[in-house]
Amino acid sequence: MLEDMDKLVSLCKRRGFVFPSSEIYGGINGFWDYGPLGVELKRNIKDAWWRDNVRMRDDMVGLDSSIIMNPRVWEASGHVGGFSDPMVDCRGTKERYRADQLFVFAYVFPAVNHKGEPTEAWLAGLGGTAGEAGELPEKKAAKLAKRFGQPAAPPSIIPYMQLDPNDRDKVIGPSTDDRGTLTAPRAFNLMFKTFVGALENESNVAYLRPETAQGIFANFKNVVDTGRVKIPFGIAQIGKSFRNEINPRNFTFRSREFEQMEIEFFCRPEEAKEWYAYWRQERFRWYVELGLQSDRLRLRDHDADELAFYSTATADIEYTFPFGISELEGIADRGDYDLSQHMKYSGKDLSYFDEDRKERFVPHVVEPSAGADRATLAFLCEAYTVDEVGGESRTLLKFHPRIAPIKAAVFPLVKRDGMPERAEAIYRELKRHYNVSYDEKGAIGRRYRRQDEAGTPFCVTIDSQTLTDDTVTIRDRDSCRQWRVAGAGVGAALGDLLEGRAVPEAGP
């Protein structure tokens, strides 16, 4: 497992998982591109989500709604009025911080400094998420000590939001050595604004959606009216969302453009508690099954004071990244808040008529809301492994076969004696079913390493024995074990391994 984020970032760049967006122009903060391996990985994760939550269930249907919607949607949802993070600006360096991620290390210094001048209690600010709220950077602490003497006691750590406004002027911001440069927290709307049509005026303002969920609520009546669903049922959607995050950071974890995988599950009010408990467990199980098996994954219930006013229960699925514990997905019991809001703002009746009980009611909703990019990042961190093979260190990505970008690689041992031809034929055959790659360049050991680093679970090698009995070797990524199977049966053998019907054989 990964300890140092920089190692993963460089592997992602080097092997074509993730690139900074528009890099040739210096990039753009908060935007990322998925390269040839990354797009396969992320697509496999989204496909696994869609298959497990939509296709395999009888109580779920899918949706693909537009990114730009009638702006009234965002008034109803509360995003126009309230979707804002309080932010703090540094007047000196022009840096901008999310106020809820800013902490102040409050030191009490001796009454006089080393020059004998009187001092007072001084403070130093440090940005960081709750998970990251670590220590004041050493350099800064040393500078403070030099300026004001040794602090009398360890600092108390105060969230900036809770700081007495009168003390703000004493704070030294994270990016400066001067005090009093941080502003009071100010609301900052996170929605990207644009204009629909030729005229750039207020009446043509529209927004890039900050979540896919509202597209689901806005289509609730359409889906019910098509007559194929009965409560309890869910509507699922995967799609891009946009938030003008104040402080994009931690690689793809907090981006300004990202993809969500959201479910709105509609049920009778009295059954909401049960469905909430079900989805809370079910969504956790999904990550474990796909490979997040370490104790870095956890389920955390929100305390009462963390809940949105309309929610009776919320839980986060969290992962311990190298930069701290952070949210992958939230599961919330949202009551009838969303449908009621849209009824109020649209004037349309969004209640549901239960044919069996002859009853009309506004359904309650349980929302499991996940991020495809954060899931991808967690799977990458979990898979990252360095071990030793034959006295040499190797880096491998231990992806579950379901999400591995490349399922198998086919190699001719050497580029002669008809091996490339036989290998190519097997490659063509496998390619009809799986994403496989072909490589005939370089030493075989190097080719294995390249595939290990891409997370390819199996390699198929055609060697001189193949030419006499048409058997090939299959090599397992994690154990490096090899065993022989009939060349004609390699597709079936690989299928069994990838689908978990067979386990890698103990080989010589």
Q: How many residues bind ligand ATP (CB under 6 A)?
A: 16
**Does 243 sit near ligand ATP (CB under 6 A)?**
yes
231 residue type, one letter: I
Nearest to 69 by CA among 215, 200, 219: 215
**Does 452 sit near ligand ATP (CB under 6 A)?**
no
Beta-strand relationship, 205-207 and 352-354: unpaired
Please, which residue, 190 or 389, has the CB nearer to ligand ATP? 190
CA dihedral 71, 75, 77, 78 (to 10 degrees): 130
**Does 333 sit near ligand ATP (CB under 6 A)?**
no
Q: How far apart are CA 39 and CA 384, in angstroms?
A: 18
Q: How far is the CB of 254 from ligand ATP (least distance, A)?
A: 4
**Does 254 sit near ligand ATP (CB under 6 A)?**
yes
Q: How far is the CB of 164 from ligand ATP (least distance, A)?
A: 26
**Does 321 sit near ligand ATP (CB under 6 A)?**
no
Q: How far is the CB of 206 from ligand ATP (least distance, A)?
A: 20
**How many CB atoms lie under 10 A from the CB of residue 91?**
13
Helix, coil or strand: residue 456? coil
**Does 258 sit near ligand ATP (CB under 6 A)?**
yes
Q: How far is the CB of 123 from ligand ATP (least distance, A)?
A: 26
Please, which residue, 78 or 92, has the CB nearer to ligand ATP? 78
Q: Which residue has the tokens 């993963």?
A: 8
Report the 3 state secondary structure along 230-294.
CCCEEEEEEEEEECCCCCCECCCCECCEEEEEEEEEEECHHHHHHHHHHHHHHHHHHHHHCCCCC
Stretch of residues binding ligand ATP (CB under 6 A), selected from 74-82, 153-161, 267-275, 371-379 = 371-379
**Does 429 sit near ligand ATP (CB under 6 A)?**
no
**Does 255 sit near ligand ATP (CB under 6 A)?**
yes
| Contact residues for 173 (Cβ-Cβ < 8 A; gap 6+) | 90, 92, 93, 95, 125, 181, 182
Q: How far is the CB of 244 from ligand ATP (least distance, A)?
A: 10
**Does 280 sit near ligand ATP (CB under 6 A)?**
no
Task: Report the residue number whose CB is nearest to ligand ATP.
Answer: 371
Stretch of residues binding ligand ATP (CB under 6 A), selected from 15-23, 218-226, 250-258, 352-360 = 250-258
Nearest to 91 by CA among 216, 185, 217, 180: 180
Q: Contacting ligand ATP (CB under 6 A), which of 125, 215, 291, 330?
A: 330
Please, which residue, 376 or 461, has the CB nearer to ligand ATP? 376
Beta-strand relationship, 171-172 and 122-127: parallel
State CA 79 to chain mean position distance.
22
In 123-197, alpha helices (H) = 138-148
Please, which residue, 378 or 498, has the CB nearer to ligand ATP? 378
**Does 100 sit near ligand ATP (CB under 6 A)?**
no
Helix, coil or strand: residue 298? strand
Q: Contacting ligand ATP (CB under 6 A), which of 168, 374, 422, 475?
A: 374
Stretch of residues binding ligand ATP (CB under 6 A), selected from 201-209, 301-309, 366-374, 378-386 = 366-374
Q: Which residue has the tokens 């911001």?
A: 173
Tokens coding 302: 């929100």
**Burial degree of 231 (CB within 10 A; 0-12, 13-18, 19+):** middle
**Does 402 sit near ligand ATP (CB under 6 A)?**
no
Stretch of residues binding ligand ATP (CB under 6 A), selected from 115-123, 328-336, 339-347, 435-443 = 328-336
Distances (CA, A) of 39 to 12, 17, 252, 372, 403: 12, 7, 14, 11, 11
**Does 214 sit near ligand ATP (CB under 6 A)?**
no
Q: How far is the CB of 255 from ligand ATP (least distance, A)?
A: 4
Please, which residue, 329 or 463, has the CB nearer to ligand ATP? 329
Binding site for ligand ATP (CB under 6 A): 211, 243, 245, 254-255, 258, 260, 327-330, 369-371, 373-374
